[in-house]
Amino acid sequence: TTFEQSGLGPGQEYEVKLEVVKNNKRGPPASKNIVTMIDAPSQVDVRDVTDTTALVTWFQPVAHVDRVSVSFGPSLNPADRSVVELSSADTQYHLAGLSPDTQYEVSLTAKMEEQHSIPVYDSFLTGKTPGIFFLHSFYSQF
């Protein structure tokens, strides 16, 4: 038999008690403390994207967390990802050293000790490299 309780808060500790009732008599209670999963950062947004940089912003999770992990890399090359661990107080991170005209994926995961939230994802396309123009000067002396 299972029971699902809704309305619990993320990252909260609850005591679960179970009592067996048979012939209107209660057996000894069994109890266990459980902690609900922590939630991920919300409203993730990638903005101010250039050919080599981008700014990732988010809202903090509801649960008390001690850090946020930001992972990013080219969408077509999952092995080429960078991971940065940030304080739980941080709500933005500036990505630099990106390649122009490349689709990137960024994921954020909230962490509390050994607990991890389910990651949230966003993707963005960096701009093309600005054009290079040559200016030719002609000097002629007669």
93 within 8 A of 86, measured Cβ to Cβ: yes
Q: Identify the CA nearest to 58 among candidates 107, 8, 114.
A: 107
Q: Taking residues 99-108, report their average pLDDT.
A: 95
Q: Taking residues 62-86, report their average pLDDT.
A: 94
- Give the pTM: 0.79
Q: Taking residues 16-25, report their average pLDDT.
A: 90
